[in-house]
Structure 1
């Protein structure tokens, strides 16, 4: 233990581990629970139902990013500025106005989803059963949007335990219970997606409403226009990132069987395990970058980012190696048919490892003044990913989708690394 502590002290990682550790552990437990409920779905309902749920999850993720309008990121940025939030005291009305924006956006989201559910299900995905899933998504849009928009502000408040509970632990516990209830009472499979949304939405809506207790008269004010001006580039970049990340599942949903989508999504979920580490560290790092940049402390940003990259890389490498070596028995846990996703798991794991070792480059650009450049990079990445997915899925099926994801991952991380070097004069990439 002393040798490990000494090594961590040499790399300056002790404090970062302490700050992000609570989020990391809760994400680990949440991930374990998520694999349990996925395991139950695949074994009790089959790969076809899981394929429909996987497509629905992607739709929820995309709607959450697009109709959240970047509010989740802008709250972290504004919350790190003294004119809006200082010493745990709200200084402006930015939270109240953000809530109004999210409520209006959620009604628009729900209306569009309910109106076009049949078009999406039948004409786009060619899976009529999806209409029921999409209808539920539209009706409950306020729940997942409020969770997406406001839970991240807990990190700004320094409430990392609560953040980890509301984002990772409690929702997955509740989903597991609701999946079992759906099976026990022989409810239609789309009740699983209702449970999925409720599990996150209950905590998101509760917390966002609690923020409305802020006093009406505040020292400073910020206009809706300024909030949207800051948030829109972040929303666009997040949307393109999500499109790039989930283009494979969406296009597979339109081009291959539900079973193949289920196999791919299970393998992709396993290969993305390193994102547990990345997300946990970035939760702590994002507000730090914003505060350091406000104080024009570029050297401080460099030190924090490089420490974070080392920590992410040290923790990610063993996970990837384990996934690659034991890919067959791990995939076999989901059922015999899922073993066909072995190559997908290898390709996705390698892409995620490169992502981890590239450092928190996206966070650096978003939390400073380069969110528009990051938006442009994500557009290029998303467009490239769509083109690659189309041709590679036609030729190689689910392995082609994984390969397209890997190439797109390399492109955006390299572009971000180059820009960070140009603007801040340091490399975010992992180096001993």
Structure 2
């Protein structure tokens, strides 16, 4: 776990910086600077683009990771050429369809909120930028160089958006220019990572594609389904809220979801490096090492996500006091989405195992079925329950999907992520959650959050260190305590 832990810690630091900037943007700048309607519009553009991204990327960001380690040195340029050109198989037809059927697409997306009608091309451009960003980011990952790409993904765009919000606040730019510049930020980010990826290995166009090209493209086509299904589970709620209720509700929902999404920061950071390592272990058929990685990633991520969940839920009332009144609801949204994110983290590198194995087709079928279920649940619950219905739909679908993946890995590989340490962490979290639920301070909300958080983290870290629940976490804590001494 040396290289995993080292790069994961760097990525975690970067990702937390990005989330801190994102928190400032979403909780304090967007909510107070941008009109609710336009904040909702920004979320609709980004969520719809995210759903389109796997299709536009043609699944290449996953395909590259799976097949790169099996390519011989003399075949890698041809493989990279194939990876760079394959997304055009989806991008060109989508551009043509958007051009000729723009009015129909715009009318559908703006059925409930007319403001969306003029921004269909913005959605396309952001989706294009997201797609090729992931392609070039995957190229960095296969060289085990994920840190700079993670900086661009987590920090760069949010920092640029912060600047744009400041410019709009001081009336240096207009609202329309802000939305246009937002699209430009994502395009610029893609251009930067392209040059960085080329610096790691400059591609040489070679049209003598690998002999297994048909297998590679078939895998990519199936991964499109899997990637789309996964993002439907994550993003379709925001898109469908736009179809049933006023667009400002997308803004309120997005704030609550962002608060809960902080829970998966360690998971996102660790997966940047464990994904290619998992692919390599599977390609080498090293199942004992794979089982060990599975359990270690699960335990480490559960330790991190569990305490983050408690910090968020136990401090939510104080946090809501810092937000505009319209954004103060959503406790159950945070609770449901937060629990779903903890469950995601508990599965460790489960996704990497499935999508890099020979069983990926079955898992993709599960994902597609559950994506359809998610859409149906949203169609049923949003009209009757509003944005809380969207949260319940997402929670139900994600938990069911995770249970299926957990069962399937155990059935096919005879490995599972849980150990006795998992139960110890769960017990610790439950006890601390019950105790701190009754702890309240009467100071300013910020001071209350700091006091409760410091006390909770200190006790949690002390328990982990004293009882040596995790070898990796204990090593990090030991270094930290030694530095403090």
Instruction: Report the TM-score when normalising by structure 2.
Output: 0.79
User: Over the residues paired in the alignment, what is the CA RMSD in angstroms?
Assistant: 2.4
Secondary structure of the 2:416 match is coil
Which of 241, 248, 262 does residue 252 from structure 1 map onto? 241
Equivalent position to 1:130, from 89, 112, 116: 116
Q: Alpha carbons of 1:257 and 1:174: their partners in 2 closer, same or farther (altered >3 Å)? A: same
Q: Does structure 1 residue 152 correspond to structure 2 residue 138?
A: yes
CA contact (8 A) 1:151 1:204 kept: no
Structure whose CA Rg is larger: 2
CA shift at 1:422, angstroms? 0.8
Task: Report the count of equivalent residues.
Answer: 416
Please say if residues 22 and 160 of structure 1, whose CA atoms lie closer than 8 Å, have aligned partners that are also in contact: no
Q: Aligned to 1:312, which of 301, 315, 318? A: 301
Distance 2:404 2:158 in 1: 35
2: CA distance, partners of 1:217 / 1:101: 14
Q: What do residues 266-318 of structure 1 show as CA deviations (whole Å, max 9, x unaligned)?
A: 10111111221111111111111111111111111111111111111111111
**Pair 374,162 (structure 1): closer, same or farther in 2 beyond 3 Å:** same
User: In structure 2, what is the equivalent of residue 189 of structure 1?
Assistant: 175
Distance across 1 between alignment mates of 2:96 and 2:318: 44
Give 1:332 deviation, angstroms: 4.2
Which moves more between the two structures, 421-430 or 112-121? 112-121
Say which SS state the counterpart of residue 204 (structure 2) adopts: coil
Match for residue 46 of structure 1?
Answer: 35
Decide which of 102, 105, 108 is 2:87's aligned counterpart: 102
Equivalence for 1:165: 151
Instruction: Give the superposition deviation at 1:398.
Output: 1.2
Identify the residue that residue 20 of structure 1 maps to in structure 2: 8
CA distance in structure 2 between the aligned counterparts of 1:73 and 1:146, rounded to whole angstroms:
12
2:185: which partner in 1? 199
Partner of 1:214: 203
TM-fit CA distance, 1:218: 9.5
Of 80, 97, 104, 1:119 maps to: 104
**Cα 1:75/1:266, change in 2 over 3 Å:** same
Q: In 2, distance between residues paired with 1:134 and 1:32?
A: 30
Deviation at 1:217, TM superposition (A): 5.7
Identify the range of structure 1 (202-211 vs 128-137) with the bigger mean alpha-carbon deviation: 202-211
Gap change, CA 1:91 and 1:121, over 3 Å in 2: closer
Aligned to 1:381: 370
The TM-score, its normalising length taken from structure 1, stands at 0.89
Which whole-Å CA distance do the structure 1 matches of 2:55 and 2:255 have between them?
25
Which residue of the partner structure matches residue 345 of structure 2? 356
Distance 1:92 1:401 in 2: 45
Does residue 37 of structure 1 match 2:25? yes
- Distance in 1, matches of 2:45 and 2:259, equals 18
Unaligned ranges ≥5, structure 1: 1-12
In 2, Cα distance between equivalents of 1:139 and 1:362: 28
**Alignment match, 1:366:** 355
Q: Could you tell me how far 1:431 is from its partner in structure 2? A: 4.9
**Does the CA contact (< 8 Å) of 2:81 and 2:205 recur in 1?**
no
| 1:315-369 Cα distance to aligned partner (Å, 9 max, x none) | 1111111111122332444421111112211111111111211222221100121
